[in-house]
Amino acid sequence: MFKTLIFLQNIFASRRLAACKNVKISSLSKVESRKIHIKNNCRLEIGDGSIIEAAIFFDRDGASVKIGNRVFIGGSSLVCAESIEIGDDILISWGCTIVDHDSHAIDWQHRSQDVQKWCHGHKDWQFVKSSPIKIGNRAWLGFNVTLLKGVKIGEGAVVGACSVVTKDVPPYTVVAGNPARVIREIPPGEQ
Ligand SMILES: CC(C)(COP(=O)(O)OP(=O)(O)OC[C@H]1O[C@@H](n2cnc3c(N)ncnc32)[C@H](O)[C@@H]1OP(=O)(O)O)[C@@H](O)C(=O)NCCC(=O)NCCS
């Protein structure tokens, strides 16, 4: 019964997505469409052979999420106000949060009205920091990893479980911790 409900929700959601002009999802990918919360003027692309079980939230008009080929994303969350770009051949585990903005301003005066405005369907982005996130080909993010605004994950990099990434990760390095630090370089023979 529950499985049938989820199946039907996915069918309705994929029809809704197919009707959006800026959405391109390859028929060769498996996507949990009911978890995708698209807005007008936002862009979503998913390439071939990917499995996307994550929830994707488009928080701001014009936000863009691009996911390449042969990407796996488990039960994670992508939260986008600007741009999240995920390359090819990437593994992203469960419990990960990839968010390209802070949601609120540091200055209390500038976030004091946030909840009241939400109640009326408004959001003021003027004082909220945001910056695009990019994940290079062949990267692997372990479970419960968090990527904060502006982070670029280099090609073939590995991010250890439960890390909080606040700065760019160089290609073919292993990083871990909070905030994440390089713990090892991956030698050419293992790349
Ligand atoms: C806390 C926060 C708002 C600070 O943003 P900021 O002032 O732009 O901070 P910066 O990115 O300049 O980082 C400053 C330093 O703190 C560290 N840092 C920032 N956030 C961190 C975090 N969450 N965990 C560990 N270290 C963190 C950075 O590595 C950097 O370290 P350095 O001084 O050694 O270079 C932001 O990092 C954050 O956590 N944003 C997410 C907010 C959130 O949860 N929103 C969701 C909905 S409410």
Per-residue confidence of the chain (191 residues) as pLDDT tens digits? 778 888 888 888 888 888 888 999 999 999 999 999 998 799 999 999 999 999 999 999 999 999 999 999 999 999 999 999 999 999 999 999 999 999 999 999 999 999 999 999 999 999 999 999 999 999 999 999 999 999 999 999 999 999 999 999 999 999 999 999 999 999 999 99
What pLDDT score was predicted for residue 39?
86
Instruction: Enumerate residues lining ligand 1, CB below 6 A.
Output: 102-104, 106, 129, 148, 164, 166-167, 178-179
pLDDT in tens, 34-80: 999 998 799 999 999 999 999 999 999 999 999 999 999 999 999 99
Quote the CA–CA distance of 91 and 79 in Å, as a whole number.
18
Residue 4 confidence (pLDDT): 87
Q: Which of 49, 43, 96, 53 lies closest to 68 in space, CA to CA?
A: 49
pLDDT score at 20: 82
Closest CA to 157 of 171, 167, 144: 171
Residue 182, token pair as written in the block: 């390089």
**pTM for the full predicted model:** 0.94
pLDDT of residue 13: 82
- Using alpha carbons, select from 130, 122, 62, 138 the residue that is nearest to residue 98: 130
**Residue of the CA atom closest to atom 42 of ligand 1:** 102
What pLDDT shows up at residue 6?
84
**φ and ψ of 33, to 5 deg:** -60, -30
User: Could you tell which of 130, 148, 152, 178 is best to mutate to test the pocket of ligand 1, judged by most ligand atoms within 8 Å of the CB?
Assistant: 148
Q: How far is the CA of 37 from the centre of ligand 1 (A)?
A: 26
